[in-house]
Amino acid sequence: MAEEVSPTENKYTFGLSKNVACGLIYFFGLIGGVVFLLSEKEDKDIRFCAAQSIIIFGAFTVLLLMPLGFLRSLIVLVGGVAWLVLMLQAFQGSFVRVPTVAEWADKLAQQVK
């Protein structure tokens, strides 16, 4: 489920270590995913985190724009928990692959160069 990475590895996008780059991707959500996916050309983990962030937080954004009444509170709660878990795990060097979304993220990360 989670992949461990040493926080002292090489510097990647914007001179950041891999765990900091991935943590910031999730911290900034949809925008962070787009920026890092377009900026990082080589590291597959950073590209994956960026693609997964785009898909997850893009879906939450679309759901929040829909008139769903009382379900909005549930969407905000689930989105907030997902944001915290993904961000904290990434900062610790453990990259979570969300089921189903991970498959789409792999494809997106490979397609966008």
pLDDT, residue 113, reads 77
DSSP characters for 88-109? Answer: HHHHTTEEE--TTHHHHHHHHH
Model confidence at 100, pLDDT cuts 50, 70, 90, reads very high
Q: pLDDT for 57-93, tens place per residue?
A: 999 999 999 998 889 999 999 999 999 999 999 999 9
Residue 2 has pLDDT above 70, yes or no: no
pLDDT, residue 57, reads 97
- Angle among Cα 52, 53, 54 to the nearest 5 degrees reads 90
Q: pLDDT for 3-43, tens place per residue?
A: 555 554 577 888 999 999 999 999 999 999 999 999 999 99
Please state, in angstroms and rounded to a whole number, the distance separating the CA atoms of residues 49 and 2: 12
